[in-house]
Amino acid sequence: MGSFQGPRDWGRLLTALLTPFHADGCVNYSEARRLASYLVDEQKNDGLVVNGTTGESATLTEDEKLKLLEVVLDEVSSRAAVLFGAGTYNTAESIRMAKEGEKRGAHGIMLVNPYYNKPSQEGLYAHFSAVAKETSLPVLLYNIQGRTSVNLETPTLLRLAEIPNIVGVKEASGNVPQMSEVCRLAPHGFRVYSGDDGLTLPLLSLGGHGIVSVAGHVAGKHIKQMIEIFPNNPLKAAEIHHRLSPLFKALFINSNPVPVKYAASLLGFDCERVRLPLVGLTDSEKATVKNAMEGFA
């Protein structure tokens, strides 16, 4: 059993839960439930994020998103944090989804940079602050320029960190100097999570809190060990990081979550299918992922 204590105790290892589909394309809620339990009990995740990029949020309907949240909360909410990805490129819709997530009992809200419409820094501030104002839940910002075409710059983030229920950021910019600056300047207690598995250890060394992971589906217990031993044995943590690095690389050989869905299927989960416009891995890509899985097991 986990040790989840409350809505602000998310832990250090969160995994962005993938969404399994039936052969007809419908969401496989029973498999999502089974996978969620496995990630908490066997892969030692402290929490899960429902409806993130890895969950194929862009092609889920509102009803599917909310039912997934309900299913995952029902399965693991007593022993793990469950965050809900409520962010979209539409502020009003994001507010509505945040309220729906809170109503269903989510332990936190994740808000991605508004994508496609490319707001200014002032627009980002206005968007995030407007959503945070409409929920009492703690909010995790999600900065991923590669998928949104905008970067949440540090001065803007620091302004947002002054809002009481904006308590952390998932930094997936890939910009280590920026991540370092955020760790240095963020207020005490503000949690900086890596959004890239391969940068978890570097971020910990800079004062980061943890990881919102993709690889946590298949290597969570190893990542958890790396995080836990880092303060007292950084060289051993580095050994684990290096052992996992080929897996981290393989899981992004194609667009996320296509590789990790195949990787999790190798563990016996019916979760390989993706929704268009994503398509499955080629045979050579599958071989790369399989080899990486075998390499750390």
Q: What would the mean pLDDT of 192-220 be, rounded to a whole number? A: 98
- What distance in Å separates the CA atoms of residue 81 and residue 28, rounded to the nearest whole number? 21
Which residues carry out catalysis? 142, 170
Give the orientation angle of helix 283-296 with respect to helix 216-229, to 10 degrees. 40
Give domain limits for the chain: 13-234
| C-alpha 69: how far from chain center | 14
**How many residues are listed for the chain in this entry?**
297
pTM of the shown model: 0.95
Query: Domain 13-234, what architecture?
Result: Alpha-Beta Barrel (3.20)
Helix, strand, coil in percent for the chain, rounding step 5: 50, 15, 40
* Arithmetic mean of pLDDT, 3-26: 84
pLDDT recorded at residue 247: 98
| Average pLDDT for the chain | 95
Give per-residue pLDDT as tens, 93-109: 999 999 999 999 999 99
- pLDDT tens across 171-198, in order? 999 999 999 999 999 999 999 999 999 9
pLDDT at residue 295, as a whole number: 82
